Every structure is written in structure tokens, then in C-alpha cells.
Chains A and B, each alone.
Chain A
Amino acid sequence: EPVRIFAGSSPTFAPVFVADQQGYFKEEGLEAVVRPFPSGAEAIEGFRSGAADFLVAADVPLSYLLTGGDVVMVAQFSQSSHFMVVVGPKEKMEAADIKGKKIGLVSKSAGEYMLSRFLDSKGLTLNDVERINLAPFDQISALVQGDVYAVSSWKPFDQKMVQLSRGEMIPAAWNGQVGFDIYSGIVAKRELLEKQPETVEKVVRALLKATKYLEKSGGVEANAADLAAYLKAPPADVQSVLETNKWDMHVSKDFLDGMKSVGQFLESQKLIAAPIDWQKAFDWTALKAVDASLVQ
């Protein structure tokens, strides 16, 4: 029985792909099947239908899974202040320009949170715009063809938007700028954690090796080349994401605070029915077992 790991296909989730590519899962004696999805939001569905044991995504989509109590987060591993971007027409992204406009995003992705924070910084709320659910690549077409006014998305799609609009569209803000870092992590079914804690530990250990590899190996360029081959994506795109990512599996206070504000956001927007019980949402036992110093 192979362990099935679903993930968003963004290079921000690199440790999973690196662990697969470098054979770290095998070293742990695991047979792992890693499957990238166009977005974390889409990977959720595969996970929910029971087709996967682990899911890797950004903090926002993961939070949707944490509401039920049957899924727990077992580790986080990346942090970025430049991952999420709002892209819109050059010099026309003030409150008055944006109000009432259509904004493209992947619903249930971090794009929704990013948009909320961005609007906040302009003195607006989500209710002031019309959100249009679009797959990342459709956001590009929609923006360039004028079907939406702006989009809230993530790297590297911003670059394609700039290119294809011949510079008409540019990033108006990124997540660090509007006051939050974005994290990614891995969740597992609670049942799995309870019945086969060693499997979870093995996965976490493989991921830890991968984050260390990403920090120490031949540099961003070499990493990007490897990862591009794995993801069948252009190296430049991959590199642009890796450049602004930090890999670290320490459970930090910033991370916990970040997750809580995501939770509050989802709740306040009625995107989730009940508040997330953070006591039950995290389970760091596997992480502790791998390296007790990672959890304070």
C-alpha cells in the first residue's frame, strides 16, 4: 500500500517534491505517490474523496480541512512574504478604481485571504468587489482579455500576466506588504495518525530532510532546475518562487498567529460553518518524535 500525497503544484510546496525526487521517502522505507494539482483548492477535493493520505497546500486551503476534526496538521515547512500577489492595471488600483469591480481568484485558496488583506489596506472589504472563481491559468486570460479588473493570485502567475498584457498589468501588492506571511504545511487523516503514527513520522522525517536540502544544496538556481524538471514547468517560473521562500520546520509563534488569523478570516466571512478548534487542529507528536527541538 503506497502512501498517497496530494499537493498543489506550486514550487512553494517544494519539500514534498524534493523528498520524492531525492528518494527521501524511499530511504524511510515508504513507497510514496506524490500528485501535484493545479491549486491547493483542487487538491482538497481529491483528499476528501479518500484518494489521498496526506495533503500539502498553503495555510488557507488547509484550514478548510481543519474544521472537521478528522484531519490534523502534522507539520509546516515554508514561509514567504512575497508569494501572494494582487495584479491589476498599472496606477489604477486605488479604492475608487477597485470598488465594485470583478476580481479573479481561486475560491478557497489563499488568494481569497490575500484579497481581503489588500482591500483592507485600501479601506475596502470583500463585499466591495465581486469575486470571480477562476483557475490560476484562467485568471491570466481573464485579466488580459478584460473579463476581470484585477486578480488575487500567487507566483509565478503574476509574471505571465505582466508579459501577456505587455506591461499593462502589474503587481499592485504582495502579502508581506499587506501584513502577513503565508505558510505551507502538510495535513493527514487523524485516523492515520492514530493507527500508524510511524508512517506519519516517516513522512515528516523525509520532509525535514528536504527542507534541509533546499537550504544547503547548490543554491536557488540549481534547486529550481531540479524542481522544474520534476514539475515539468519552466525553470524561470520555479526560480521566481523559490527566491522568496524560506524553508523551516520550527513551529514558530508567527506561524501559530498566522493560522489563527486565517481561521478568524474564514469564520468572519462565513466561509466555514464553525470556528476551528486549534487545540485539535495541530498535532506535533510526529514532529517532536523526529526532532524535539522543532516544537517549543
Chain B
Amino acid sequence: MSGFRMTTLSTLSLCSFVIMWAIAAGSIGRPDLVPSPLQVVEALKGMLSSGEIVKATITSLGRVVVGYLLGGVAGVVTGIILGRITIIRESFSIIFDVAKGIPPIALVPVVIMWFGIGEMSKWLVIAYVVWVVVTISTLVGAKEVPLIRLRTAEIIGLGPLERLYRVVLPSVVPYALIGLRNAVGFAFVALVSAELIGANSGLGQIIMDSRFALQTDRMVVGIFVLGGVGAICQILFELMERLILARRFQTG
């Protein structure tokens, strides 16, 4: 079956879904519970013209970016330390194993308690998840830097610092990138977690607050925008990887 026919089939399937949704919404007749596609489009128009959705998107995106950068850097550093220094790994791997099981949403209450309801709390919750995901994969890469690369460094007589940035760091890059790629999705999970409980702005809050007034059309808009922004970030990341890093680091 050709790619073209596949695409056609996928498009058809998506269209029939929208039609079925419209029919279902019509027959249920509870626009407050199940809005029709048209209502959702109307809501989107309204939220666009009021600027509300753009503002919320920018707010949420800003949180993701800051949290992601914080967590990404911390994850690479932690991963390399745990991966390269056996004593530290043996001592702290159990602690890390427990930490990595904590759902981000569970952290929201304490983080809010300690850091208030400001941006810092959201950054930390997002950074936490990114940190976990990036650490896990960086650790594998750092632990498994091929012995023969380190031996090459030994022959040449590189010192510890030079070995770190000329051999270990670049060897770890492909692994860290896997973690960073996965972390994009998790950052959005954490964003939603932080915004559903304890936020007064952002996409999560639109979803949460619209619920109180049974404005499901706004909720659906919120969900779709959230999914769309998440998907775009994912795609942008992969593009960046392919354009800038793929040749040197054989990823993607």
C-alpha cells in the first residue's frame, strides 16, 4: 500500500471522527457536557480574539522552557556524576530510584508550600521530571563510555578535565539527547500537573477553571492547544537534533 493511500485513509478516518463527534454531540444534546466541533471552533475564535489563549500558551510555554532547561542541565550533570563515579553511584542509586518513582503531581503541594504559588514552583516541578528522565539516560551513557575511548585518552595522556570534555562529554551526548527528547513530553505532563493544582494562569488553568462553569468547549480548546504545543515542541526538538547534531552525534 502506498504512502499516499495511507495518508488518504488517515485523513478520511480523522474526518469521519469529526463527523461522528458532531453527530454524537447533537444527539446527546448537552452542549455543556459534550460540545460540538463547531462550538469548539467558536470558543477558539473567541479565545483567540480576546488574546486569552495566546497569553495562556505563552505563560505555559515559558514555564516549560525554564523548567526544562533547569532540569536538563541538572540531569546531564547528575547523570555524568552517577555514571562515572562508582562510589557515588553505589551510594545514591537507591535514593535516585525512589525519587524517580515520585509522580510530579504529588510534588506540587509541598513545592507550593515551600516556594509559594509563583513561577518558581512550576519551574521546579517541571525541572524535577526533566531531571529524572535526563539523568536516567545520561547515566547509562556515562557508565558505558567505551573503554577503548578512555584508553585512547590514556595513550595520549589527557588529564582528567580534558578527558571529561574531550571524551566523556561527547560520548554521553547521544544518550543525553535521548533523555532530553523523552523529557519534552514529560515536561508537559509536569506542566499540567502544576497548573491543575495551584495555578492562576496558563493552559492547565483554562482547562481546570472552565470545568467550574461547565464550559466544556473551552476545556476542549485548552486540551487541543496543549496537545498541539506539546507536539510542536517535540517536532522542533527532533528537527534541531537532525539539523544540528545528527551528523556528528548519529542521532535521530
Interface on A for B, CB 8 Å cutoff? 41-42, 44-45, 48-49, 108, 132-135, 137-138, 141-142, 144-148
Across the interface, which residues of A come within 8 angstroms of B113, CB to CB? 141
* A44→B212 CA distance, assembly (Å): 7
Given contacts A138-B117, A145-B118, A147-B118, contact A45 B197 (CB under 8 A): no
* A73→B150 CA distance, assembly (Å): 78
A89 to chain B, nearest CB (A): 15
Chain A to chain B contacts (Cβ below 8 Å), 14 pairs: A45-B212, A108-B212, A132-B117, A133-B209, A134-B198, A134-B200, A135-B197, A138-B198, A141-B113, A141-B116, A144-B116, A145-B114, A147-B116, A148-B117
Q: Would A49 and B214 count as touching, CB distance under 8 A? A: yes
* A45→B219 CA distance, assembly (Å): 14
Across the interface, which residues of B come within 8 angstroms of A137, CB to CB? 109
Q: Which residue of A lies closest to B112 (CB)?
A: A141
B96 within 8 A of A: no
7 smallest beta-carbon distances between A and B, as pairs: A145-B116, A147-B116, A142-B117, A45-B212, A147-B117, A141-B112, A141-B113
Given contacts A41-B212, A44-B212, contact A49 B33 (CB under 8 A): yes
B100 within 8 A of A: no
Given contacts A49-B33, A134-B200, A135-B197, contact A142 B116 (CB under 8 A): yes
A263 to chain B, nearest CB (A): 18
* A146→B118 CA distance, assembly (Å): 9
A168 to chain B, nearest CB (A): 14
Q: Knowing that A45-B212, A141-B116, A145-B118 are A-B contacts, what are 14 other residue pairs whose CB atoms are under 8 Å apart, sorted by A's residue number?
A: A41-B212, A44-B212, A45-B211, A48-B214, A49-B214, A132-B117, A132-B200, A134-B117, A134-B200, A137-B109, A138-B112, A141-B117, A144-B116, A146-B116
Render B192-221 as a binary contact track against A, CB cut-off 8 A, 1 for contact. Answer: 000001101000000001011010000000
Interface on B for A, CB 8 Å cutoff? 32-33, 109, 112-118, 197-198, 200, 209, 211-212, 214
A32 to chain B, nearest CB (A): 25
Across the interface, which residues of A come within 8 angstroms of B114, CB to CB? 145
* A137→B198 CA distance, assembly (Å): 9
Q: Which residue of A lies closest to B197 (CB)?
A: A135
Among A45, A134, A138, A148, the one with the most B-chain Cβ atoms within 10 Å of its Cβ is A138
B218 to chain A, nearest CB (A): 14
B92 to chain A, nearest CB (A): 30
* A54→B209 CA distance, assembly (Å): 22
B250 to chain A, nearest CB (A): 46
Across the interface, which residues of A come within 8 angstroms of B214, CB to CB? 45, 48-49
B55 to chain A, nearest CB (A): 16
Q: Which residue of A lies closest to B115 (CB)?
A: A145
Across the interface, which residues of A come within 8 angstroms of B200, CB to CB? 132-134
B198 contact from A48, A49, A135, Cβ within 8 A: A135
Across the interface, which residues of B come within 8 angstroms of A41, CB to CB? 212
* A42→B109 CA distance, assembly (Å): 18
* A44→B213 CA distance, assembly (Å): 9
Across the interface, which residues of A come within 8 angstroms of B198, CB to CB? 134-135, 138
* A10→B34 CA distance, assembly (Å): 32
A227 to chain B, nearest CB (A): 24
Among A44, A132, A142, A145, the one with the most B-chain Cβ atoms within 10 Å of its Cβ is A145
Across the interface, which residues of B come within 8 angstroms of A134, CB to CB? 117, 198, 200
* A191→B47 CA distance, assembly (Å): 34
Across the interface, which residues of B come within 8 angstroms of A142, CB to CB? 116-117
